[in-house]
Structure 1
Amino acid sequence: MGVAVVTDSTAMLPAALAASLGITVVPVHVVIDGEEFEDGAEGTTPADIAAALEARKAVSTSRPAPAALASLYSSLAAGGASEIVSVHLSGAMSGTFESAQLAARTAPVPVVALDTLAVGPCLGFAVEAAAAAAAAGASASEAAAAAMDRANASTSYFYVDTLEFLRRGGRIGAAAALLGSALAVKPLLAIEDGRVVARERVRTSARAIARLEELAVEAAGDQQVEVAVAHLRGEERAAALTDHLTERLGDALAEPIRVGELGAALGAHVGPGMLAVCVAPAVTSAP
């Protein structure tokens, strides 16, 4: 087996793709009115999480337990892994990376735990880079470096209809959320240094989504890229953005744009109507 690659469910990797690349995905946990679920389990569909948020139910997330990751690492070692690279979402947003660090201490084989400072599709693209490196014979440390390089070179922007859900989840401060509501602005946000930051504020949702498109095109520049569009209960918006970017980026797209709906662990913090785009440099050759 060589180097095994592990990530968490916030990477939004389609199950078939993860399986084809040999990536093991660990679910983050979601708590709805005190009942805990694994991300992706029954009761945690996008429709379920949107309904819970709109009903103002208490929705939160929790990291995988270190013991669960330790068990997984042992299982991968028993299956022939000589090393493991465990690639996770920003440690500023979740304790998942810390759980991986703790589990690595007792693993029977070396484990490199990585905080990518990314989340969502940008994390997914980083994990794919690690898998490509591992498949080419890289060590766990080299695979982690490939993942980090791609994460650092990726750009993630997103739009939300309201800042309220980010406030509830502690991802932005109450003052910032109140200011957005008071000014009736539509915020464009970004992930920088592993945290949610305000990128721009515009007056209407239509202008915000048009600006999201422009920012994605700017991020692509003149390089070959892969792009992912993510949404929560925003199928029409996501389809329109995908069509526009496909036309504008043309031959710069190394692969068709990937479109996906957020799982519960991410959807819990952004709310219905969220629309995001991630632009990552294409992996042109194995590290």
Structure 2
Amino acid sequence: MKTAIVTDSSADLSREDAESLGIFVARMPLTIDGEDFLEEEGISREAFIEAMKNGATVSTSQPNLFNTGTLFKNLLETHDQVLYLPISSKLSGTYQTACILAEEFGGRVVVVDTLAVSYPLLYVTLRAKELAESGVPLVEIKQNIESNSFMFASLIPESIEYLKRGGRIKPAAAAVANLLKIMPILSVTDGEIDLLDKVRTHKKALKKGVSYVVEDRNPDDYDWAVLSGDAPEEDMLEVIAEVERILGRSVVRRNIYPIVLAHTGPGTIAVTCMKKF
């Protein structure tokens, strides 16, 4: 059976990469100073980052229901079935909405709760594509991913300013943190983003963020990546070198795209591991 593999913008997948990988993307809306765009269609990653740096107020929302339904309908004209792997249900209502929408297609659309975002979501999507191409039924792929996939990431923002703008840190707390040069480290695991630690200075946060991900894990059990939200190249190279030194192997380098950057800010670095399954 011919299967269309679909994810959403939070998988940090450019239009060009999506086409080359044979993956379809439900693009998520971005709002910049009250003006609406579609990620990777109405505005580029570079323009979005520049807007944030210039102080723009930004927000994100789940893919438009009508647009997603139209995407499914069009794909089912050329494919037998659709497997949709959206952002974690704990970060967005996209999964729940898609499940309701899927009921309109008589079992030809299967929706997976990935509990993932950013590159780990792309990782799971690519694994799903491999399984589908080998003939595994979509329901089994869904069960496999929801039962066996695991990811952990540390997110190290370059500045707490964007966390303050997004409401993750209160203004008074942000002022104290700036005064004392305290930097947060966020974790992404089990589909949620939480505060993992607070340390003095950004350099220490980068080093601590690496250790949280790579220590006490068997390198052979995971795939590894370091992600950049337009972070300084010096910082990226330093983090990649430290991760590769500890693991004794090379790691994937990817960019973070606007859906995630809207909440963490440009300059963010993420270190992530995805359990092989």
* Structure 1 residue aligned with 2:7: 7
* Structure 1 residue aligned with 2:208: 211
Deviation of the 1:181 alpha carbon = 4.2
CA distance in 1, matches of 2:15, 2:221: 25
Per-residue CA distance 1:254-274 (angstroms, 9 max, x = gap): xx5222222222111111221
Aligned length: 275
| 8 Å Cα contact 1:229/1:257 also seen in 2 | yes
Deviation of the 1:164 alpha carbon = 3.4
CA distance in 2, matches of 1:163, 1:89: 24
Deviation of the 1:154 alpha carbon = 1.4
Does the C-alpha gap of structure 1 residues 228 and 190 become closer, same or farther in structure 2, counting only changes over 3 Å? same
Aligned residue among 222, 225, 230 for 2:222: 225
* Structure 2 residue aligned with 1:60: 59
Deviation of the 1:17 alpha carbon = 5.3
CA distance in 2, matches of 1:116, 1:177: 32
* Structure 2 residue aligned with 1:93: 91
| 8 Å Cα contact 1:160/1:271 also seen in 2 | yes
Instruction: State which drifts further: 106-115 or 51-60.
Output: 106-115
| 8 Å Cα contact 1:21/1:131 also seen in 2 | no
Deviation of the 1:25 alpha carbon = 1.4
Deviation of the 1:146 alpha carbon = 3.0
* Structure 2 residue aligned with 1:278: 272
CA distance in 2, matches of 1:154, 1:193: 7
User: What 5-or-longer segments of structure 2 have no aligned partner?
Assistant: none
Q: TM-score scaled to structure 1, two decimals?
A: 0.85
Deviation of the 1:70 alpha carbon = 1.1
Does the C-alpha gap of structure 1 residues 101 and 166 become closer, same or farther in structure 2, counting only changes over 3 Å? farther
Deviation of the 1:29 alpha carbon = 1.2
Does the C-alpha gap of structure 1 residues 176 and 90 become closer, same or farther in structure 2, counting only changes over 3 Å? farther
* Structure 2 residue aligned with 1:35: 35
* Structure 2 residue aligned with 1:250: 248
CA distance in 2, matches of 1:265, 1:91: 15
Per-residue CA distance 1:12-35 (angstroms, 9 max, x = gap): 235565445532111111111122
| 8 Å Cα contact 2:154/2:210 also seen in 1 | no
CA distance in 2, matches of 1:257, 1:41: 29
* Structure 1 residue aligned with 2:192: 195
Does the C-alpha gap of structure 1 residues 41 and 14 become closer, same or farther in structure 2, counting only changes over 3 Å? closer
User: What 5-or-longer segments of structure 1 have no aligned partner?
Assistant: none
| 8 Å Cα contact 1:185/1:204 also seen in 2 | yes
